[in-house]
Structure 1
Amino acid sequence: MSHTTTSAPGWHELAEPAGLNLLARIATAHSAGSSLDAIGQRLRKDNIEPSMIAAALTQTDLRAKAAGKFGPVASELLFTRAGLEQASRAIVSDLHAARFAAAGCTTVADLGCGLGAESVSFLRAGLDVRAVEIDPLTAAYARHNLAVVAAEPGCGSATVTEADAESSDLAGIDAVFLDPARRTAGHRDTRRVSPDDYSPSLDFAFEAARSAIAGGVKLGPGLPRELLPDDAEAQWVSVEGALVETGVWFGAAARPGIRRAATIIQRNEVHELTGAEDAADAEVRELGQFVYEPDGAVIRARLIGTLTTQLHAGMVREGIAYLTGDALVPTPFATAFRVLEELPAGEKQLRKELAARDIGTLEIKKRGVDVDPASMRKRLKLRGSQSATIILTRVADRHVALLAERVR
């Protein structure tokens, strides 16, 4: 994803030999036990430009934070704060690269490459990368980052061009990947989304991806479904329960017979639920011994009906994404709760019941009811020593408060 950076003094110099040498010096001292504050004080005595020192110390901190997304190689790469926040996790970008490799692609254009997180995975999959980034500082950092990774055994080659994605020449390219940034400046209602709210626009992004042998467009997980093209596979991805992206795949990158996919990544394992179309919701049934909360990717992909069949369950109520059944079926696609008892839904009576059970720490889950869990928790004023979970929802035509426990 492209992003505009400020030209703060010292940041451009970090991509040059003097800046990289300074970063290496800081890394050596830091690994030997010196704090960044102490290192900064010593560097100032050496008459190094204060702006350069500040940029290098911040970069050292960003490298440490980036290890979770990029792995050990983060200690050799360059980051901006905004770019690191927007960068894909390696395990997710590896899945993107695997699609292109499986499609037989050998070259990929990464249009709006940001710091190069996606391109790192493309290179490691053996693909040659032609990356494009419009922001000068980000392009310089991407050029450095991809050169570092391209030197690893078995990796493809990489070029980074400072240019606008929409002016890119795609001749000779097998695969195209884009990560458009959503623009909200000047919009009074950011809930209403149109294709032109993105840079580059969704119309351009989809057409560029569609024009290649294999194409992919990475978008936010909340993308309105009416913006999804009919000729693509839409994939919602969650990592450790957090919904992180919607992937839109064209051509050979889209899998035959699949138009909807929910991809769940837990503890570095990938699980997937797929369908040729949106699944119809299951029938409503009476409350069972267990309540299941589907992962957000399953909900967004509208594959709740498929999951319900796997769990031998039913809906607690039409339009509410809680499932219920009497069998405990282990699944990566939902969190299971064992229903212990039903408590009064009114706050006054609920407070009495929770206090009688010595509950002090309360997890509040809710669907289909207009309740703010944080505000409700304060109003309940619980003082007990025990922990509990309550599920606030609607069963048939009544509001219920279910005392439950997570099934590990």
Structure 2
Amino acid sequence: MNLKELQLIDNSDVRKIIRDNREEDPLKFALRYNRKKEFPVRAIAEQIKCYQKAKRKLPLLSNSDFIFESVSLEQASSEATAKFKAGIINGKILIDLTGGLGIDSIHFAGKFEKVFYCEENSLLYELFLRNFKTLGINNIEAFEEDGTEILKSYPDKYFNWIYVDPSRRDSNKRLVGLENCWPNVIANLDLYLQKSQNILIKASPALDYKKVKEQLPLLNRFVAVSVDGECKEILLFTTAQEGLCVTSIEAAVLDGEGSLTFHLSTSEIDVIEKKISKEVRQYFYEPDAAIIKTGLSPKVAAQNELWFINHSIDYITADEFIPAFPGRSFQVVLSSVYNKRKMKEYLSSNGIISANIARRDFPDSPEEIRSNLKLKDGGKDYLFFTKNSVNDLIFIHCKKPEI
């Protein structure tokens, strides 16, 4: 979408067309209306496609009169994670250096007296001006300029919080390391700490803790955030306050609405040994993605007296069912050493023609396993492939627990 298309779709007639067709296949819509020159068909089709993504990612805003932009929607925070972030920081003034679609700024506005939204992309800036006014928000000031330059124009320690979500795309390639993103938060960190005591950086879920700790020595919180079992983002909290040099490593597990269902933290100096089981027991557990990302599985296991299947992975087993386990829980039907021929015989004798497949520390990919065993995807059976405590390849057949 461009500025001209934004002007064309921001009228009541076109908005009605979008609302009436938002469940339609965007490509079919574009083909059906491609001769109607009086309508911006391409832009309407883009809005239909954006709506279909937004109704999952931004359910409340998708039902408002919001206009989206496809690339910024892809990188924008979900409502669940934006709500979580806004719930853990507050103050008088926050500056969002990389405003984008403005989802985070909109949520921060409910917790701060004033929010500064900065975006140098003219289309996103105009889109945000239009969108946030339709929501009745009146405590956001928007700037069509590079957020770093805006920051330089204010006195030291003017802001209670600086929030930055560096762009992780370059020519459609996904970037992970902070040094490769824009703005470069490592290069700008001294400026950030000059203007505020508290910095919050949103980063890729693939970010490595050890590397970022080297890059940000003043990092005091490393928080992995998951939504419905998928790790969505890493939050990096950096502070200028003295005495906060030990980093808290945290897992925040959210449901689809952004409510915190489980939280666990540890110090970077804490070390918990894994207890290894010689056999797979009656129940099988896979911790939530945020717990695995932060290396907190041993702490979860220790708190619940659970055992790991081997040293290198986060598959856990126990004799008892843990109802509130933070992750996936299963009842074990059978665990055995993996042999392709015998595995096929087992599946055939039990009438299993489809299954959910996962693997860790196993040579074949899920796709290769599925092809080798001629299994369809889905169903009530779960097959996990891994190694046991003596490094034998094994499979674990599970079902959802009967409770």
TM-score for the superposition, normalised by structure 1: 0.82
The 5 A counterparts of 1:189-228 are 194-204=177-187, 206-207=189-190, 209-211=192-194, 212-225=196-209, 226-228=211-213
**Letter in structure 2 aligned against 1:400:** I
1:11 aligns with 2:5: yes
**Letter in structure 2 aligned against 1:88:** S
**Letter in structure 2 aligned against 1:363:** N
From 106, 116, 124, give the equivalent of 2:102.
116
Q: State the distance in 2 between where 1:144 and 1:218 align.
A: 25
1:131 aligns with 2:123: no
1:367 aligns with 2:355: no
SS in 1 for 2:275: coil
- Which 10-residue stretch deviates more, 286-295 or 19-28? 19-28
SS in 1 for 2:278: coil
The 8 Å contact of residues 284 and 317 in structure 1, kept in 2 or not, is answered as yes
Q: Deviations over 1:200-222 (max 9, x none)?
A: 11304644554413321001100
Partner of 2:230: 242
- Which 10-residue stretch deviates more, 277-286 or 373-382? 277-286
1:164 aligns with 2:146: yes
SS in 1 for 2:353: strand
Cα separation, partners in 2 of 1:210 and 1:301, compared to 1, 3 Å: farther
1:285 aligns with 2:270: no
Q: State the distance in 2 between where 1:331 and 1:182 align.
A: 35
Partner of 2:401: 407
Q: State the distance in 2 between where 1:251 and 1:330 align.
A: 38
Partner of 1:67: 55
> Following TM superposition, by how much is the alpha carbon of 1:350 offset from its aligned partner in structure 2, in angstroms?
0.8
Partner of 1:3: none
> Following TM superposition, by how much is the alpha carbon of 1:67 offset from its aligned partner in structure 2, in angstroms?
3.2
The 8 Å contact of residues 21 and 48 in structure 2, kept in 1 or not, is answered as no
The 5 A counterparts of 1:245-394 are 245-251=233-239, 259-268=248-257, 269-270=259-260, 271-277=262-268, 279-287=271-279, 288-382=281-375, 387-394=380-387
Partner of 2:86: 97
Q: State the distance in 1 between where 2:126 and 2:316 align.
A: 50
Cα separation, partners in 2 of 1:370 and 1:142, compared to 1, 3 Å: same
> Following TM superposition, by how much is the alpha carbon of 1:395 offset from its aligned partner in structure 2, in angstroms?
1.4
Partner of 2:76: 87
**Percent pairwise identity:** 20
Q: State the distance in 2 between where 1:273 and 1:299 align.
A: 12
Q: Deviations over 1:71-100 (max 9, x none)?
A: 344331221111112111112111211222
Q: Deviations over 1:83-139 (max 9, x none)?
A: 1121111121112112222xxx11111111111010110123344111111211111
SS in 1 for 2:395: strand
1:20 aligns with 2:7: no
Q: State the distance in 2 between where 1:361 and 1:376 align.
A: 12
The 8 Å contact of residues 291 and 337 in structure 1, kept in 2 or not, is answered as yes
Q: State the distance in 2 between where 1:203 and 1:182 align.
A: 14
> Following TM superposition, by how much is the alpha carbon of 1:65 offset from its aligned partner in structure 2, in angstroms?
3.6
Q: State the distance in 1 between where 2:163 and 2:65 align.
A: 25
Cα separation, partners in 2 of 1:19 and 1:185, compared to 1, 3 Å: closer
Unaligned 5+ segments in structure 2 are none
Number of equivalenced pairs? 382
Q: Deviations over 1:134-164 (max 9, x none)?
A: 2111111122222223x25xxx511221222
**Letter in structure 2 aligned against 1:263:** A
The 8 Å contact of residues 46 and 70 in structure 2, kept in 1 or not, is answered as no
Partner of 1:78: 67
SS in 2 for 1:169: helix
SS in 2 for 1:76: coil
Q: State the distance in 1 between where 2:397 and 2:89 align.
A: 47
Unaligned 5+ segments in structure 1 are 1-5
Q: State the distance in 2 between where 1:344 and 1:315 align.
A: 17
Instruction: Tell me how large the CA RMSD over aligned residues is.
Output: 3.4
Cα separation, partners in 2 of 1:236 and 1:28, compared to 1, 3 Å: closer
Q: Deviations over 1:207-257 (max 9, x none)?
A: 45544133210011001221233432000011111110000013399xx88
Q: State the distance in 2 between where 1:386 and 1:265 align.
A: 26
Q: State the distance in 1 between where 2:387 and 2:14 align.
A: 57
The 8 Å contact of residues 80 and 227 in structure 2, kept in 1 or not, is answered as no
Q: State the distance in 2 between where 1:20 and 1:62 align.
A: 18
